[in-house]
C-alpha cells in the first residue's frame, strides 16, 4: 500500500470499528465472554494502541531516527506483518500492561469513540508529512513484534483494529450460545 492507501484504510477500518461498537446495545457493549475483554475494553485497547503512534509522529523525523534507528531491510508486506502478528498471538503473545484496558462503562463509550477518531485524524495528517521512502526508513518499536518500519507499524494498526472488531463479534456470538 502506498501512503494514500494507508491513510484511507486507517480511516475506513477505524470508522467501521467505531460504527460497529457504537451500534451495540449497552448490554452488548458490556458483555463478557469467558473472561475476555468487553467491547468497551476492546475500544479502550484500540485507543491505547493508536495514541502512542500518533504521539511518536509528533516528534521530528531526525529524532525518531536518532532514538529508534533506521531500517536495514525493506518493509514487509501487509500480509507478512499480519502473519507475523498471528504467529506471535498463537504462541501466547498478549498486550503489555500499557495497552491493557481498564473497566469501561457505558458512559465512556461516546468519549472514547470520539477520542479514537480524533487520534486517527491527527495520525492521518501526520502521515502526509512522510515520503514513501521515509515510511520504509524510519523504525518504531512494537511491544510484541519488535522493530517495525513506519509503514509496517501502519499496516499493523490497520489490521489490529480489524482483528479486534472480529474478536468482539466472535465473543458476542459465543456469549449468546
Task: Give per-residue pLDDT as tens, 122-164.
Answer: 999 999 999 999 999 999 999 999 999 999 999 999 999 999 9
Domain range list for the chain:
3-175
pLDDT number for residue 177: 65
pLDDT, tens digit, for every residue of 36-95? 899 999 999 999 999 999 999 999 999 999 999 999 999 999 999 999 999 999 999 998
Model pLDDT, residue 169 = 94
What is the CATH code for 3-175? Answer: 1.20.120.450
Q: Over the stretch 14-52, which tens digit does the pLDDT of each residue have?
A: 999 999 999 999 999 998 888 889 999 999 999 999 999
pLDDT of residue 24: 95
pLDDT of residue 35: 82
The whole model's pTM is what? 0.95
Per-residue pLDDT, 139:
97
Alpha-carbon torsion (49, 51, 78, 8), positive or negative? positive
Amino acid at each position: 500500500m502506498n501512503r494514500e492507501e494507508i491513510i484511507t484504510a486507517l480511516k475506513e477500518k477505524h470508522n467501521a470499528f467505531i460504527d460497529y461498537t457504537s451500534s451495540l446495545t449497552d448490554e452488548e457493549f458490556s458483555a463478557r465472554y469467558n473472561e475476555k475483554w468487553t467491547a468497551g475494553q476492546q475500544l479502550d485497547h484500540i485507543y491505547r494502541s493508536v495514541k502512542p503512534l500518533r504521539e511518536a509522529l509528533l516528534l521530528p523525523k531526525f529524532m525518531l531516527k536518532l532514538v529508534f534507528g533506521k531500517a536495514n531491510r525493506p518493509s514487509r508486506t501487509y500480509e507478512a506483518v499480519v502473519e507475523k502478528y498471528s504467529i506471535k498471538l498463537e504462541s501466547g503473545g498478549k498486550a503489555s500492561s500499557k495497552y491493557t484496558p481498564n473497566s469501561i462503562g457505558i458512559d465512556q463509550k461516546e468519549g472514547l469513540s470520539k477520542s479514537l477518531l480524533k487520534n486517527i485524524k491527527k495520525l492521518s495528517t501526520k502521515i502526509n508529512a512522510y515520503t514513501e521512502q521515509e515510511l520504509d526508513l524510519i523504525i518504531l518499536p512494537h511491544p510484541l513484534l519488535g522493530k517495525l518500519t513506519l509503514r509496517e507499524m501502519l499496516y499493523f494498526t490497520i489490521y489490529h483494529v480489524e482483528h479486534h472488531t472480529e474478536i468482539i463479534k466472535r465473543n458476542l456470538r459465543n456469549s449468546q450460545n
